[in-house]
Amino acid sequence: MRQSEKALARREATFLRGHRAEWIALLLLLMKGYRPLARRYAASGGEIDLIVMRGSTIAFVEVKARGSMEDARFAITARKRQRFSRAARAWLSRNAWAAGKTWRADAVFVAPGQWPQHIASAFELEMP
């Protein structure tokens, strides 16, 4: 297998792991009473894996799948938070009905052999 084929296989495996982790996270949140609003929302150079709502709270959710729960927790970098916040602001600007709601940035961490962990208000949304 050539180097380019190996790189492609790695990218595919990473994509599938992330896709599977998003479904696991969505199922967890559904069991907790959240209602999905959007999945894989991309705008303004950022992406939000899941946007869900429960009661009057809208949660913008980052899903991280890693080999260990600790690695997953450290995977949300400052740059990722900035891009995530830009996408959240874009979504809010396109959904005026959400102006009176509570917004927060949640995270769901997924690792092999462990239950996924949902952390409400995992980090602050950067709002101007």
Does residue 94 lie within any of the structural domains?
yes
**Per-residue model confidence as pLDDT tens digits over 102-114:** 999 999 999 999 9
Average pLDDT over residues 29-46: 96
- Give the pTM: 0.89
Structural domain contains residue 77:
yes
Q: What is the CATH number of the domain that holds 24?
A: 3.40.1350.10
Q: Which residue has the higher pLDDT, 127 or 91?
A: 91
Is 118 in contact with 32 (CB distance < 8 Å)? yes
Assigned domain for 128 exists = no
Residue 79 domain-assigned (yes or no): yes
Cα distance between the two ends of the chain:
49
Give the structural domain span for 85.
3-123
Contacts of 99 (CB under 8 A, 6+ apart): 92
Q: How many CB atoms lie within 10 A of CB 44?
A: 14
- Please give the distance of CA 84 from its chain centroid, rounded to a whole number: 9
Tokens at 109, concatenated:
């961490």
Q: Which of 73, 76, 77, 127 is nearest to 102 (CA)?
A: 127
Number of domains in the chain: 1
Per-residue pLDDT band for 1 (boundaries 50, 70, 90) equals low
Give pLDDT tens digits for 4-13: 777 777 887 7
Closest CA to 32 of 122, 116, 123, 102: 116
Looking at the domain assignment, is residue 32 inside a domain? yes
In whole angstroms, give the CA distance from residue 37 to residue 51: 5
